[in-house]
């Protein structure tokens, strides 16, 4: 039996106090991250330099008693590897040339993705060699729809244009999703081959979809992705994070084939528990804003999350990524409280 607590919970065991990791635990809220970041010419270059990316993974583990490390990379390495160059506008976010500006939608070959992303797998194996045996290593990718939205409109922000494209150009959008499923499956399988213990699919833009469209662009592509991973011989657990799925959370948990589900900030734990298959591990869901507030409000929030998920397999996390404004001391406090069972 593994001594990796997070893997035991993913297998359905209740562990008290729960294991903890934090989405975006490597990032700009850490001064040492901001320092490290100056060594790369741009963010994508940072992701593709194993020496720097490995150091970024290890930074939060040195400060906090976390149960898991997460690969340092980005969900947008997939479009980049498919030949859709990605760049970041300081203070604004990612940019790509939008597919919406093109008459016909074409992509690079998904079979080329793994060769192009070799430095990412190099980072995975360096991290596995550097972390303790009891630390779980999480590999990740974006969900097909979330990555598609960046490719379709060339940026984050308002997704109305993507929904309209899904209705108006169904063949183009479905073909894009199919390419992303294949590329993402190969990318995740390569992370597992390099040493990842489990995987998370960040479907960060699951919100605002009517049920039939949710089924078409989220459930079916995720089912296909999980099935393709199995066909590629991947047996590690997959955590799905359908942020903003709301009333469709249960369909995601029941139908996609993921082993566990991440619960976002606004989804009540009791609702998630009722809607997910019995015994499925759930991850979440402290409000990231509480880390900026700190103090009594933060303590109360941690206790509330612990109590809400108590009695079922739970991995403590935030309901979305930690923000650059959060003081690192807040995260130290969160971990300390969890270790003491909330006391």
Footprint of ligand CP3 on this chain (CB under 6 A)? 23-28, 37, 43, 70, 72, 74-76, 88, 93-94, 140, 156, 202, 204, 321
163 is catalytic: no
* Active-site residue identified among 14, 24, 95, 116: 24
Element (H, E) at 193: helix 170-193
Sign for the CA dihedral angle at 47, 157, 301, 295 comes to positive
33 is catalytic: no
> Which of 202/316 has CB closer to ligand CP3?
202
With CA atoms as reference, report the closest residue to 69 among 88, 79, 54.
Answer: 54
* Active-site residue identified among 33, 48, 150, 252: 150
243 is catalytic: no
28 is catalytic: yes
Helices (H) and strands (E) in the chain, counts: 17, 9
> Which of 18/262 has CB closer to ligand CP3?
262
Q: In whole angstroms, how close is the CB of 329 to ligand CP3 at the nearest point?
A: 18
Q: In whole angstroms, how close is the CB of 175 to ligand CP3 at the nearest point?
A: 22
* Active-site residue identified among 4, 48, 67, 74: 74
Q: How many CB atoms lie within 10 A of CB 17?
A: 16
* Strand, helix or coil for residue 148: helix
C-beta of residue 99 within 8 angstroms of C-beta of residue 160: no
> Which of 206/256 has CB closer to ligand CP3?
206
List C-alpha distances in Å: 172 to 3, 79, 178.
46, 16, 10
Report, in angstroms and rounded to the nearest whole number, the Rg of the chain calculated over CA atoms.
19
Q: In whole angstroms, how close is the CB of 1 to ligand CP3 at the nearest point?
A: 27
Q: In whole angstroms, how close is the CB of 16 to ligand CP3 at the nearest point?
A: 25
150 is catalytic: yes
Give the active site residues: 24, 28, 37, 74, 150
């Amino acid at each position: 039996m593994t001594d990796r607590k997070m893997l035991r919970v993913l297998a359905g065991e209740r562990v008290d106090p729960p294991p903890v990791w934090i989405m975006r635990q490597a990032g700009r809220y850490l001064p040492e991250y901001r320092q490290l970041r100056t060594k790369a010419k741009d963010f994508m270059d940072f992701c593709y330099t194993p020496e720097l990316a490995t150091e970024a993974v290890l930074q939060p583990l040195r400060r906090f008693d976390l149960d898991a490390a997460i690969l340092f990379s980005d969900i947008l390495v997939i479009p980049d590897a498919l030949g859709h160059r990605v760049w970041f506008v300081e203070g604004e976010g990612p940019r790509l040339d939008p597919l919406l500006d093109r008459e016909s939608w074409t992509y690079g070959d998904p079979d080329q993705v793994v060769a192009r992303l070799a430095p990412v797998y190099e980072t995975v194996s360096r991290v596995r060699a550097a972390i303790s045996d009891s630390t779980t290593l999480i590999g990740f990718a974006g969900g097909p729809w979330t990555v598609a939205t960046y490719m379709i409109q060339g940026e984050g922000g308002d997704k109305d244009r993507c929904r309209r494209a899904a209705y108006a150009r169904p063949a183009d959008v479905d073909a894009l999703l199919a390419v992303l499923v294949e590329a993402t499956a190969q990318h995740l399988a390569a992370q597992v081959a390099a040493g990842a213990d489990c995987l998370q699919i960040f479907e960060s833009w699951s919100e605002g979809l009517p049920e039939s469209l949710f089924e078409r662009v989220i459930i079916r592509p995720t089912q296909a992705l999980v099935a393709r991973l199995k066909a590629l011989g991947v047996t590690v657990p997959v955590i799905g994070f359908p942020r903003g799925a709301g009333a469709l959370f249960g369909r995601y948990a029941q139908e996609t084939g993921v082993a566990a589900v991440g619960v976002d900030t606004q989804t009540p734990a009791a609702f998630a528990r009722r809607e997910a298959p019995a015994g499925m591990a759930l991850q979440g869901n402290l409000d990231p804003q509480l880390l900026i507030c700190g103090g009594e409000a933060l303590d109360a929030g941690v206790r509330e999350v612990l109590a809400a998920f108590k009695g079922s397999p739970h991995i403590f996390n935030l309901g979305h990524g930690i923000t650059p404004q959060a003081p690192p001391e807040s995260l130290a406090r969160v971990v300390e409280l969890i270790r003491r069972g909330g006391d």
